[in-house]
Amino acid sequence: MKNTLFKKKILITAGPTREYIDPVRFISNESTGKMGYAIAEALHQMGADVILVSGPVSINSSFPKNKIIQVISGNDMFTECEKYFKTIDIAIFCAAVADYTPIVTSKIKIKKIENNTSLELQKNRDIAYEFGKIKRNNQIAVGFALETNNIHENAIGKLKKKNFDLIVLNSPNKNEGFGFDTNKITIIDSELSLHSFPLKLKKEIANDIIFYIRNSNKLVTSENKLEQIVV
């Protein structure tokens, strides 16, 4: 199969974000970044020009350090990604960006009080959604959906709302999703066809996802498409 991704400019987001409440406390999630880094490594090896915008993770990766932009919060991740929106060919939104962030971050450690307390949160901007609004016809966007219920409906809803060309659906079951080396995914394309895969290593899944990107209508003509062999 022709390497349609050679020299393509690809933006990948990976890992969690941290939304600080005070200097030592934050809101985050269990994302380890393994999936995003696995995709970045595979694409880099194929000769793509990859920029990885990564939240705080501890990963031993062969992906070149000078191609990683380290960020902390969802707002930082948005700011860095936005710089690339116009020039990239493909965006892969793997990051588990926190949906909400504290309205105020205290500069000093918040003291315990006698009574209950509450935290006021505001919505983080959605990187994938904002890119989807300005995406050109020749740009490809790939999203992820981690769902626990109405999984297909929710994933399809996100595919449409965020103008993705592909969405990768997974669930937080044992050995799947956050933290594990393995995952079980279904890829849904813009024609709403479902492609389900067995439990595999994230490194192998990266290649399955890349196969669908390479085979996208935007990169190959219908006569050059290859059939995927699911193993």
Q: Which residues are catalytic?
A: 29
Q: Measure the CA–CA gap between 155 and 173, rounded to whole angstroms.
A: 16
Among 54, 61, 101, 124, binds ligand C5P (CB under 6 A): 124
135 binding ligand C5P? (CB under 6 A)? no
For residues 69 and 36, what is the distance between their CA atoms, to the nearest angstrom? 13
By the rule CB under 6 A, 21 interacts with ligand C5P: no
Beta strand 121-123 pairing with 194-196: unpaired
Q: Does 8 bind ligand C5P (CB under 6 A)?
A: no
| One character per residue 161-200, x = contact with ligand C5P (rule: CB under 6 A) | -x--------------------------------------
The verdict on 55 binding ligand C5P (CB under 6 A) reads no
Per CB under 6 A, the segment of 24-32, 132-140, 141-149, 180-188 that binds ligand C5P is: 141-149
CA 102 – CA 20 distance, rounded (Å): 7
Q: Judged by CB under 6 A, does residue 35 bind ligand C5P?
A: no
Q: Which of 37, 144, 180, 197 binds ligand C5P (CB under 6 A)?
A: 144
Q: How far is CA 61 from CA 31, 52, 89, in A?
A: 16, 12, 24
Q: How far apart are CA 195 and CA 189, in angstroms?
A: 8
